């Protein structure tokens, strides 16, 4: 549970604690660790996301800072800035007995930002342990508990054998005492042997899960990276990606000639006003496809925003870049958009420029903006080089 919760925190942190991908991340984590019954995200202590979602008995909206049954554990976690294990306790939302593992989130200035939380129902754990023939007692520190005895169903029978062992938990140490129901005193060594075997199996299984969780982190990060660099509508690279590519060019020590163009669809507002925004979106998708088919494999076409696109052509001089832009202009001029019996054409204006490392990134963007302005002002459906 600890490893899984840290994976959730790491993944959310990588996405600046945006909850947009919470369900995707939480689903993968629970698939890898079925001991976890539910994962929660609580910015500033208020639960806003849970997985799996539950229409009834949901914890969404619970303010952990103001729930008396949870205040001690919340305060301990915030004060120590560490994981805390609470439970077993009765959950407020569904009255089920469960363990709660809570990890506080802090920003770079050590300001409290919220919690990520993992919950495991008692029955999920009992199903995996062979305790049906045992009574057992758990003693230790439980922040939200009233007494130090966390769980106890041992019978006061001195003839039964009891074996005790300690377990480290995030906020302290628990003492487990197990009393066998069936065996007499001569079977104490058997019980100890079973416990040692259980520990060995647990360690072996845990190492395997840690490896799987490491691979899960890599998969989740790759998914998040692709999502952060992809325009949702056109599936082209987005503005963040093209800025990333430009940053890499300027970090390079090889001073080559590169070319870059900005493409702006002409009178696109008229398309939206005449045919509707749904048709406008389809025009953007079709235009993206036209550009992708008329550039080289080394070129990158990305959506800059709205109806504007950026074409980055690395290690490309201005003459080669003009040929690529001419190809896009020609193909688009002969293309007819047909949607719902509506048939029309559209043109594009382009601002084009070449640059080297001696030109600042701001200057490069300003040049293509100025070139685009000239194309628009002098008739559209053309490219201008600056």
Other C-beta atoms closer than 10 Å to the C-beta of 341 total 5
Residues 222 and 243 in one domain: no
The range of the structural domain enclosing residue 102 comes to 2-228
Same domain, 199 and 243: no
Residues whose CB is less than 8 angstroms from the CB of residue 75 and which lie 6 or more positions away in sequence, other chains included: 143
The answer to whether the Cα torsion of 232, 237, 238, 241 is positive or negative is: positive
Domain final position from 201, 228, 255: 228
Cα–Cα distance, 277 to 306 (Å, whole number): 12
User: Distance between CA 59 and CA 70 in Å, rounded?
Assistant: 13
- Whether 130 and 199 share a structural domain: yes
CATH number at residue 131: 3.30.450.350
According to the model, what pLDDT value does residue 313 have? Answer: 95
Report the CATH number at residue 304: 3.30.70.270
DSSP type of residue 317:
-
- Among residues 31, 307, 308, 323, the one annotated as catalytic is 307
Asked if residues 163 and 189 have their Cβ atoms less than 8 Å apart, the reply is no
pLDDT digit string, tens, across residues 317-355: 999 999 999 999 999 999 999 887 888 999 999 999 999
Q: Count CB atoms within 10 A of the CB of residue 229.
A: 17
pLDDT in the model for residue 283: 94
Do 117 and 128 form a contact (C-beta atoms < 8 A)? Answer: no
Q: Are residues 204 and 322 in the same domain?
A: no
What does the pLDDT read at residue 91? 84
HSE-up (13 A, CA, CB side) for residue 267: 11
DSSP output for 175-202 = EEEEEESS--GGGHHHHHHHHHHHHHHH
Q: 98-142: per-residue pLDDT in tens?
A: 888 899 998 878 888 899 999 988 776 665 655 556 777 777 777
Return the pLDDT at 161.
Answer: 59
Q: Based on the fold, state whether residues 179 and 264 are members of the same structural domain.
A: no
Low-confidence ranges of the chain (pLDDT < 70): 124-133, 145-148, 150, 155-162, 180-196, 214, 217-227
Helix, strand counts (H, E) of the chain: 10, 16
Q: Is 200 among the domain residues?
A: yes
| 205 and 267 share one domain | no
Which residue matches tokens 């045992």? 134
In the prediction, which pLDDT does 88 show? 74
pLDDT at 189: 58
Residue with tokens 């008396």: 68
Spatial contact of 91 and 82, defined as CB atoms under 8 Å apart: no
Paired tokens of 168 = 């480290």
For residue 185, the model assigns a pLDDT of 47
The backbone region for 43, taken as left when phi is positive above 0, alpha when psi lies in -120 to 50, beta otherwise, is: beta
Q: Please state, in angstroms and rounded to a whole number, the distance separating the CA atoms of residues 263 and 369.
A: 10
Predicted confidence at residue 143, as pLDDT, reads: 76
Residue 372 · residue 350 · CB < 8 Å: yes
CA distances from 88 to 100, 125, 215 (A): 8, 11, 31
Residue 9: per-residue pLDDT: 87
Told to judge if 323 belongs to the known catalytic residues of this protein, a careful annotator would answer no
Provide the 10 A C-beta neighbour count for residue 244. 13
Which residues lie below 8 Å from residue 241, measured CB to CB, with a gap of 6+? 229, 230, 300, 302
Which of 207, 26, 13 lies closest to 117, judged by CA?
26
Domains identified in the chain, total number: 2
Asked if 333 and 347 count as a contact pair (C-beta separation under 8 A), the reply is: yes
Statement to judge: residues 100 and 188 lie in one domain: yes
What is the structure's pLDDT at 132? 58
Q: Are residues 153 and 270 in the same domain?
A: no
Q: Are residues 263 and 290 in the same domain?
A: yes
Specify whether the CB–CB gap between 324 and 311 falls below 8 A.
yes
Instruction: Please indicate, yes or no, whether residues 220 and 144 belong to a single structural domain of this protein.
Output: yes
Does 118 share its domain with 224?
yes
Q: What is the CA radius of gyration of the chain?
A: 31
Looking at the domain assignment, is residue 65 inside a domain? Answer: yes
Within-domain flag for 234 = no
In this structure, what DSSP letter does residue 64 have? G
- Ramachandran bin of 341, using left for φ above 0, alpha for ψ from -120 to 50, beta for the remaining angles: left
pTM of this prediction exceeds 0.75:
no
């Amino acid at each position: 549970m600890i490893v899984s919760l840290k994976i959730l925190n790491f993944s959310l942190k990588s996405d600046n604690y945006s909850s947009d991908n919470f369900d995707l991340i939480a689903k993968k984590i629970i698939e890898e660790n079925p001991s976890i019954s539910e994962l929660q995200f609580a910015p500033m202590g208020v639960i806003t996301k849970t997985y799996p979602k539950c229409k009834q008995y949901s914890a969404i909206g619970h303010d952990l800072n103001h729930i008396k049954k949870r205040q001690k554990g919340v305060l301990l976690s915030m004060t120590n800035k560490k994981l805390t294990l609470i439970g077993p306790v009765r959950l407020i939302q569904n009255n089920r007995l469960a363990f709660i593992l809570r990890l506080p989130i802090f920003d770079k200035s050590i300001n409290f930002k919220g919690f990520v939380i993992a919950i495991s129902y008692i029955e999920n754990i009992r199903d995996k342990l062979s305790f049906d023939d045992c009574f057992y007692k758990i003693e230790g520190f439980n922040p939200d508990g009233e007494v130090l005895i966390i769980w106890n169903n041992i019978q006061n029978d001195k003839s039964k054998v009891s074996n005790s062992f300690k377990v480290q938990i995030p906020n302290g140490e628990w003492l487990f005492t197990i009393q066998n129901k069936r065996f007499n005193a001569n079977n104490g060594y058997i019980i100890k042997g079973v416990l040692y075997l259980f520990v060995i199996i647990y360690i072996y299984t845990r190492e395997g899960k840690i490896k799987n969780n490491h691979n899960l982190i890599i998969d989740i990060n790759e998914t998040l990276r692709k999502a952060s660099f992809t325009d949702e509508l056109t599936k082209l690279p987005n503005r963040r990606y093209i800025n990333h590519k430009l940053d890499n060019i300027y970090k390079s020590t090889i001073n080559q000639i590169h070319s870059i163009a900005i493409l702006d669809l002409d009178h696109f507002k008229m398309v939206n006003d005449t045919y509707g925004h749904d048709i406008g979106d389809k025009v953007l998708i079709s235009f993206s496809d036209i550009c992708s088919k008329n550039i080289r494999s080394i070129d990158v076409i990305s959506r800059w925003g709205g109806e504007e696109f950026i074409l980055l052509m690395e290690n490309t001089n201005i003459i080669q870049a003009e040929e690529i832009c001419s190809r896009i202009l020609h193909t688009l001029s002969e293309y007819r958009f047909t949607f719902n019996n509506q048939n029309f054409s559209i043109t594009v204006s382009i601002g084009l420029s070449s640059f080297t490392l001696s030109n600042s990134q701001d200057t490069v963007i300003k040049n293509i903006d100025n070139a685009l302005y000239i194309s628009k002002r002098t008739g559209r459906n053309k490219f201008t080089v600056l």
